[in-house]
Amino acid sequence: MTGAELDIIRQMLHAAQRVLITTHIRPDGDAVGSLLGLGLALQETGRTVQMVLPDGVPHTFRHLPGTDQIRRDVQPPFDLFVVLDTADVPRIASGLNGYQVDICVDHHVTNPGFARVNLIDPEAVATSAILAEHLPAWDLPITPEVASALLTGIITDTIGFRTSNMTPKALRLAADLMEKGANLPELYKRALIHRSFEAARFWGYGLVNLKRQGRLIWTTLTQADRAAAGYQGNDDADLTDILSGIEDGDIAVLFVQHADGRIKVSWRAKPGWDVSALAAHFGGGGHPAAAGADFYGNLEDVQQKVLKATQELWEQQVTKFKSTTARG
């Protein structure tokens, strides 16, 4: 994106008086952090801001300042609609995807650019990092509350600064946010270490079901598992972070069954592997190392289809690597 386009976003943000901001369904730390970061910064300039999450705020992030203002529904009117950290229109909650999106700020490589004006930076470690970089140029303040939200987004999307796309630039942005008042040790503990008893039990059901075929690892969390664990969230309690750290696999897949008949599939890949195109093939999206898609149907059928395609992807990339090595 050019400097002129960035200035257009600044003009649009300052021309609006009533701003609606949302992010993707089943929001993670970067979704919540970027939503609060931009929303609270705009409020500091006198704008009326609606921050909307139809799925609500996950328990892990309810300590962040401003979460009490996040609502589940939209109350028109608004004169600017901003979507953050969302790879495509289907990932916007159904009650919101009928509106024309004015601005999209995102870092997913599979994002097609669905808004009137798009700021998509696949090199950024998080959407929160994009905002941390550009809010000052947009004449929006980074207060301690804004800094805390944005640093939470960076921490969670990099799993504590340890994903393969970490850069010196991202660390400098994190340091800048600390200087503006964000408490890194506390935010890190809240986002990545502290877990409820029920979340830990939910992990247990997924770990006991862990399976492996060659370098492909997968597991499943069913509705029965969720009920037995007493876990109230509609996510996977970040079990994907654990799967991504298993050294015996190149690609990990998590199947999560939901009450509405939907099956959420999440892929995690080691550096050098790319699962984003596979997710896009199934109507999803994401990054080379982390992607996802939603399915409807029988759990076993979905697993068979996804695992077959994932195994084929693994074999193709192994063949490509061997071919490249042989030529070298």
Beta bridge partners of 103: 82, 117
Peptide bond into 77 cis (omega under 30): yes
Is pLDDT larger for residue 239 or for residue 320? 239
State the Cα–Cα distance between residues 167 and 170, nearest whole angstrom: 5
- Outline where the chain has alpha helix (H): 3-15, 29-44, 127-134, 144-157, 168-179, 184-188, 197-208, 223-229, 239-243, 276-281, 299-327
Predicted local confidence at residue 181, as pLDDT: 98
- Outline where 121-196 has alpha helix (H): 127-134, 144-157, 168-179, 184-188
The 10s digit of each residue's pLDDT in 19-38 is 999 999 999 999 999 999 99
Predicted local confidence at residue 51, as pLDDT: 98
Report strand pairing: 251-257 vs 262-269.
antiparallel
- The answer on pLDDT for 98 being more than 80 is yes
State the Cα–Cα distance between residues 258 and 45, nearest whole angstrom: 40
Strand order in the sheet with 117-120: 48-52, 18-22, 80-84, 103-106, 117-120
Predicted local confidence at residue 56, as pLDDT: 94
State the Cα–Cα distance between residues 277 and 275, nearest whole angstrom: 6
Predicted local confidence at residue 174, as pLDDT: 98
State the Cα–Cα distance between residues 96 and 90, nearest whole angstrom: 10
The 10s digit of each residue's pLDDT in 298-319 is 999 999 999 999 999 888 877 7
% of the chain exceeding 90 in pLDDT? 83
Predicted local confidence at residue 324, as pLDDT: 56
pLDDT band for position 321 (50/70/90)? low
- The answer on pLDDT for 216 being more than 90 is yes
Average pLDDT, the chain: 93
The 10s digit of each residue's pLDDT in 53-95 is 999 999 899 999 999 999 999 999 999 999 999 999 999 988 8
Report strand pairing: 211-213 vs 216-221.
antiparallel
State the Cα–Cα distance between residues 42 and 135, nearest whole angstrom: 10
For residue 282, give every residue at least 6 positions away whose Cβ sits within 8 Å of its Cβ, in sequence order, or none.
265, 293, 295, 306, 309
Distances (CA, A) of 4 to 1, 114, 118: 8, 19, 13
Predicted local confidence at residue 315, as pLDDT: 87
Predicted local confidence at residue 5, as pLDDT: 80
Report the alpha-carbon angle 150-237-304, nearest 5.
120
Nearest to 153 by CA among 101, 188, 181, 195: 188
Predicted local confidence at residue 323, as pLDDT: 58
Predicted local confidence at residue 95, as pLDDT: 80
pLDDT band for position 320 (50/70/90)? low
Distances (CA, A) of 23 to 72, 141, 244, 273, 297: 12, 21, 24, 27, 26
The 10s digit of each residue's pLDDT in 139-191 is 999 999 999 999 999 999 999 999 989 999 999 999 999 999 999 999 999 99
* Token pair in block for residue 36: 């609060």
Nearest to 81 by CA among 40, 52, 56: 52
Residue whose entry in the numeric block shows the structure tokens 């897949």: 253
**Which string of b and e fits 46-57 if b means at least 16 CB within 10 Å?**
ebebbbbbbbeb
State the Cα–Cα distance between residues 167 and 7, nearest whole angstrom: 25
